Amino acid sequence: MNDQKKNKGGEPKGERIAKVLARAGVGSRRAVEEFIRLGKISLHGKVLDTPATLVTTTKGITFNGRPIKDKLPTKLWLYHKPKGLVTTHKDEGGRDTVFAALPSKLGRVISVGRLDLNTEGLLILTNDGQMSRWMELPTTAWKRKYKVRVHGKVNEARLTALKNGVTVDGIKYGAIDAQLERVQNTNAWIQIVIKEGKNREIRKVMEHLGLKVTRLIRTAYGPYELGNMKEGDVAEVSWASMEEYFPSELIGTAPKAERPMKHWEKGGKKPFNKGKGGPRERSQVKPKGSPNRGPKRR
């Protein structure tokens, strides 16, 4: 199945197909391996049965019968996810999804991690599976920052103790920086910073402290912040910003020209579109710590 040219030493030349398809935006390497297991990836008309296949190009590769195009320039977007959307391409329960609500001109994109149905705020999107995986890696150590509204009596000493980590129902969570911001009757706002982002981590830890989360907003992921983006806003990250925060071997070479974003055509699910033009978009984002890079806001 490894229909490959060989190098001078007689060894097969190329890269594992999962890595190549991740760069082409099909999904993360793990997702591509699952697609292969399900028989969705073919090479020159033959269904692949192993992710160990080596390739040098996407030529001849199909996904669900459709040819895979060569890698597009790496792109990154910030999206203000509204409450009530699931972060999946298709929901078996028929619920509204993030990807149906996005502007169609983005093409196929994947999310960096997930936000659950009732969590809102910053969700990062990319067309590159390798980039998504890099941002999610524990070794990258990008912090996730949240504003959390809880119902119940807050014990500040127990909040402070979370910096040492906590175990809930047998699951060990790493250091959590939790700062009480203000109290409103029986409700309170807490700022929380975590590095791991395990499944429903904040909700489970707050419940462990006797607090019920009534609103959860992600305000930052690594160097990128939600800022004044409104629900449904989409903003493309400038190439200058990506050069500053990502390894060069990950993002590749800069495209010939960086064109400013145009107004998107009407998006998918109407309940989350604002006005007649679909989800609002903003021009290139200037992330925290990058004061003089990228085009100005318009």
Cα angle 279, 281, 287 (rounded to 5 degrees) comes to: 135
User: Are 54 and 16 spatial neighbours (Cβ–Cβ below 8 Å)?
Assistant: yes
User: Are 232 and 273 spatial neighbours (Cβ–Cβ below 8 Å)?
Assistant: yes
- Residue type for 43, please? L
The one catalytic residue among 96, 116, 169, 233: 116
96 catalytically annotated: no
CA distance 229 to 227: 6
Helix (H) or strand (E) holding 215: strand 212-221
Long-range contact list for 174-183, CB < 8 A, 24+ apart?
176/205, 180/154, 180/156, 181/147, 183/154
CA distance 267 to 199: 29
Task: Cite the active site residues.
Answer: 116
